[in-house]
Amino acid sequence: MTCVCRCALVWIVALSAASPVLAQGRGPQLDLTISPLSISFASASPDTTPVVTAPPIVVTVRVRQSTGPWSLTVLANGDLLSGSDAVDISNVTWTATPAPPFQGGTLSKTVAQRVASGTGTVNPAENGSLTFRLANSWTYNAASYTQTLVFTLTAP
Amino acid sequence: MFSRHFAVILLSWAVVASPTRAAAQTSTATLSANIGAVASLTLSAATIAFPDADPDTVPLIPATAGPILITAKSRATAGAQVVLAVQATDDLRSGVSVIPASNITWTGSGVGFVAGTLSTSSPVTVAAWTGSGIRSGSQQFFFRNLWTHPTGTYTLTMIYTLSAP
């Protein structure tokens, strides 16, 4: 008799703890695509082209099964590098359309910068056009620089 | 005892499983920038002139307009030498009369600028620097005045070259 009562109590506790987890299993489904995956700045004279513009990229965001906020951020893995030469990544900015949900900003290697944000679902997917720009300067060393950008779509 | 163990197992599953439900999607893009070597040169005047003078009183005639102001912008590879040089295309000529271009000299003012003597055979360094940047200075020209120069109005052309490897 005593054993039966204990078993029933255990089942109630176990089910109440597991229920929220099962709900999260049907939680936000996120899709993020970027095309192209290469962003290139061509060489130009700082006098004639003080700001170098790269061809735009398309960022596609889809958020399903979500009622809360979502956010797309970008973080540079470092400055633009070429061997020991470096161009500070903060010299790269971007503009974005449509706004909202997309927004412009300045690249950072320390803090992820918001690219887009919203609440609830984004379905069908929404395309954003991001145009990156490099502040041109006579002080840069001539070289071919590269860096990696990490875009992260989250719906916490 | 059995029931207590079963409860512990279920609760542990709930706690461990939660982080795996966090919704996040990442994508990586490559950013590249081709920063090429370029140069830009600006002179404050495209013409300089020397007035007539008595060789005894003015053996070295300064250009009338004073120093030429020079702005040299260059983007070069790290540690590369950027050189501003000038070369005369010919000697000073007035009809059939000729005065060697080497009678024209200059002094330089500003970081990297040096004095020199004009030549028709090879470029002569006006200034030199290391690496990228914007530099400014001036060049004051002089004409060596001699009794032996034939009278006339002489001209020549100088070509400035700013090189940034």
CA-nearest residue to B76 within chain A is A142
**Segments in chain B forming alpha helices (H):** 2-17
Percent of chain A with pLDDT over 70: 83
B110: left (phi over 0), alpha (psi -120 to 50) or beta: left
Structure confidence at residue A26 (pLDDT): 64
B38 pLDDT more than 70: yes
CATH number at B38-163: 2.60.40
CA B160 – CA B123 distance, rounded (Å): 8
Give yes or no for a cis peptide into A124 (omega within 30° of 0): yes
List b or e across B47-86, with b for residues whose CB sees 16 or more CB atoms inside 10 angstroms: ebebeeeeeeeeeebbbeeebbebebbbbbbeebebbbbb
Helix, strand, coil shares, percent, chain A, to 5? 15, 50, 35
Structure confidence at residue A9 (pLDDT): 34
Nearest to A153 among B18, B24, B32 (CB): B24
Per-residue pLDDT of A76-95, as tens digits, reads: 999 999 999 999 999 999 99
The minimum CA-CA distance between A147 and chain B, rounded to whole Å, is 5
CB of A140 within 8 Å of a chain B CB? The answer is yes
- DSSP letter, residue B155: B
B99 pLDDT more than 50: yes
- DSSP letter, residue B90: S
Structure confidence at residue A25 (pLDDT): 52
Structure confidence at residue A94 (pLDDT): 98
CA-nearest residue to B42 within chain A is A47
Structure confidence at residue B165 (pLDDT): 78
Six-digit token pair at B135? 């530099």
CA-nearest residue to A62 within chain B is B25
- SS3 sequence, A61-116? EEEECCCCEEEEEEEECCCEEECCEEECHHHEEEEEECCCCECCEECCCCCCEEEE
Which residues in chain A (2-41) have CB-CB distances under 8 A to chain B? 3, 6-7, 9-10, 13-14, 17-18, 20-21, 24-25, 27-34, 37-41
CA-nearest residue to B3 within chain A is A7
Structure confidence at residue A17 (pLDDT): 34
Counted residue by residue, chain B has a size of 165
ipTM over 0.90: no
Structure confidence at residue B21 (pLDDT): 47
User: Mean pLDDT, chain B, as a whole number?
Assistant: 89
Question: Which residues of chain A are within 8 Å of residue B131 when distances are taken between CB atoms?
Answer: 141
Percent of chain B with pLDDT over 70: 87
Sorted by sequence, the CB contacts under 8 Å of residue A140 that are 6+ apart come out as A87, B35, B75, B132
CA A48 to chain centre: 32
Per-residue pLDDT of A7-53, as tens digits, reads: 333 333 333 333 333 334 568 899 999 999 999 999 999 999 999 99
SS3 A15: helix
The minimum CA-CA distance between A143 and chain B, rounded to whole Å, is 5
- DSSP letter, residue B122: S
A118 pLDDT more than 60: yes
What's this model's pTM, rounded to 2 decimal places?
0.78
Q: Do B21 and A25 touch (CB under 8 A)?
A: yes
Q: Among B4, B11, B13, B32, which would you mutate to test the A interface (most chain A Cβ atoms within 10 Å of its Cβ)?
A: B32
CB of A122 within 8 Å of a chain B CB? The answer is no
Strand partners, A72: A116, A153
CB of A52 within 8 Å of a chain B CB? The answer is yes
8 A C-beta contact, residue A103 and residue A129: no
Q: Which amino acid is at A84?
A: S
Of the candidates B112, B118, B104, B111, which has an alpha carbon nearest to the alpha carbon of residue B160? Answer: B118
Please state the domain extents for chain B.
38-163
Of the pLDDT bands very low, low, confident and very high (cuts 50, 70, 90), residue A105 is very high
Taking one residue from A and the other from B, the number of pairs with CB-CB distance under 8 angstroms is 164
Q: Do A146 and B30 touch (CB under 8 A)?
A: yes
Helix, strand, coil shares, percent, chain B, to 5? 15, 50, 40
Q: Do A46 and B73 touch (CB under 8 A)?
A: yes
Strand partners, A63: A30, A122
Higher pLDDT, B165 or A59: A59
Per-residue pLDDT of B56-95, as tens digits, reads: 999 999 999 899 999 999 999 999 999 999 999 999 999 9
A1 pLDDT more than 50: no
User: Mean pLDDT, chain A, as a whole number?
Assistant: 86
Per-residue pLDDT of B109-134, as tens digits, reads: 999 999 999 999 999 999 999 999 99
